[in-house]
Amino acid sequence: MFPADPITAVTHPDPYPYYRHLAATRAFHWDTTLGLWVAAGPDAVAEVLRHPACRVRPPGQPVPPGLLNTAAGALFGRLVRMNDGPAHAHLKGLLAAWLDAVDLFAARRHALALTSRLPYDAPWAGDSVDAWMRTVPVLTVGKLLGLPVDTSLDDDSIAAQVATYAAAQSPLASGEATARGAHAAQALMNWAELPVPDDRPLSALRQAAATFGIAPEAVTANAVGLLVQTCEATAGLAGNTLLRLAREDGAASDIGVSEDEPLDHVSDKALDRIQAWVARVAREDPSLQNTRRFIAQDTTLCGAQVAAGDGVLVLLAAAGTMRPDVEGRPWTFGAGVHACPGHGLAQALASATVTSLLARGVRPAALARRFAYRPSVNARMPRFG
């Protein structure tokens, strides 16, 4: 049965026939129940993402009301992801240049090495898998930036704070989750403000930003922002890859990573094989299924008259059912000026996470017998514990 609407589709067992139907028959339409325009066809999705009147925040509301006057709101308001125009362009350019320069092979190895210090509880494999998926990519990005990461999995560890802050941004967050998010935001900002040695990328980013007159707090917020952008979407990509390996007969055993294999013995070929699965999953069962835009002034969009203040739900995953890529990347990474600059790193880190779990003896088929998608309006992210 089709999901009831494009929001419930995100966590539906198989939303893709529905998405394909929407993309083919209702490429751009008004959904009266959601009170939103919905872009589903690939041309419509690309047009919305590139249209100058389509902004990442509603007019006059740079920060969600629930986060106003909190540390979480201050952090949110500085993110390039959540700004348009010059405030976005300069800093995004610097972040994108750094991400482009990251050696993805080395990043995979960093991630693998880091897992040797993470606790893994075999009797509760599902819980450990969930913790690793959320932790390994985030800590690796922190380490690549030059931040002092610790590898504990305590509730106040960096990775846990990032997950708490990321969860607080969801419209499904309770009042309590929002309050915890504000606390986590403050802790993360304090941590990311610490001085780092001059030879670390974060230090170079701070210096380059200063030449554009960008405030140091904006760099700190966006360093934390990189960890937040990494957290749920990359965990979801790793989780959906584990599910995919479970569903394809023999796929997990053909990869050539055996249980209890020392991580420095895992070959680049095996990592590449897993990364090929990750790339397929990014196209066919993506972790980030939709994003939103808000109309800044009355205009024509995809042939329809839209009004200032209208919202648009942009179904990246629906566009992907008709055409595999946009601008040379899977649709899940977006397009236009806000396109994800971390797409290569995300796929490298998801591969390393899956690899390290297989080497710890995780069996995808066993995980897939017992999982549920986390409640979300945009992220398809399995939970195994």
Rounded to whole angstroms, what are the CA distances from 167 to 162, 251, 379? 9, 32, 11
CA distance 220 to 180: 20
Residue 266 lies near ligand HEM (rule: CB under 6 A): no
The residue range among 149-157, 207-215, 251-259, 286-294 that interacts with ligand HEM, by the rule CB under 6 A, is 286-294
Which residue of 141, 166, 214, 246 would you call a contact of ligand HEM, by CB under 6 A? 141
- Beta strands (DSSP E) in the chain are 28-31, 36-39, 54-55, 291-295, 299-301, 304-306, 311-314, 325-326, 329-330, 372-373, 382-383
Which residue of 240, 287, 356, 376 would you call a contact of ligand HEM, by CB under 6 A? 287
Question: 361 Cβ partners below 8 Å, 6+ apart?
Answer: 122, 259, 260
Which residue of 342, 352, 356, 360 would you call a contact of ligand HEM, by CB under 6 A? 342
Q: Which residues pair with 330 in a beta bridge?
A: 325
Tell me phi and psi for residue 198, to 5 degrees: -60, -25
Size of the site for ligand HEM (CB under 6 A): 26
User: Shortest gap between Cβ of 137 and ligand HEM (angstroms)?
Assistant: 6
Which residue of 159, 274, 345, 354 would you call a contact of ligand HEM, by CB under 6 A? 345
Question: 177 Cβ partners below 8 Å, 6+ apart?
Answer: 164, 167, 168
Considering the complex, state which of residue 56 and residue 221 has its C-beta at the smaller distance from ligand HEM: 56
Contacts to ligand HEM from residues 71-100, by CB under 6 A:
80-81, 88, 92, 95, 99
Considering the complex, state which of residue 288 and residue 315 has its C-beta at the smaller distance from ligand HEM: 288
Contacts to ligand HEM from residues 177-216, by CB under 6 A:
none
Instruction: Select from 177, 226, 207, 194 the least CA-distant residue to 78.
Output: 226
The residue with tokens 């584990």 is: 242
Give the DSSP per-residue string, 339-374: --TTHHHHHHHHHHHHHHHHHTT--HHHHHTS-EEP
Which residue of 73, 334, 364, 382 would you call a contact of ligand HEM, by CB under 6 A? 334
Which residue of 237, 246, 295, 302 would you call a contact of ligand HEM, by CB under 6 A? 237
Residue 149 lies near ligand HEM (rule: CB under 6 A): no
Considering the complex, state which of residue 261 and residue 352 has its C-beta at the smaller distance from ligand HEM: 352
CA distance 210 to 50: 29
- Here the tokens at position 63 are 């920060």
Residue 333 lies near ligand HEM (rule: CB under 6 A): yes
Instruction: Name the residue with the smallest CB distance to ligand HEM.
Output: 342
Residues that bind ligand HEM (CB under 6 A): 56, 80-81, 88, 92, 95, 99, 141, 226, 229-230, 233-234, 237, 287-288, 291, 332-334, 338, 340-342, 345-346
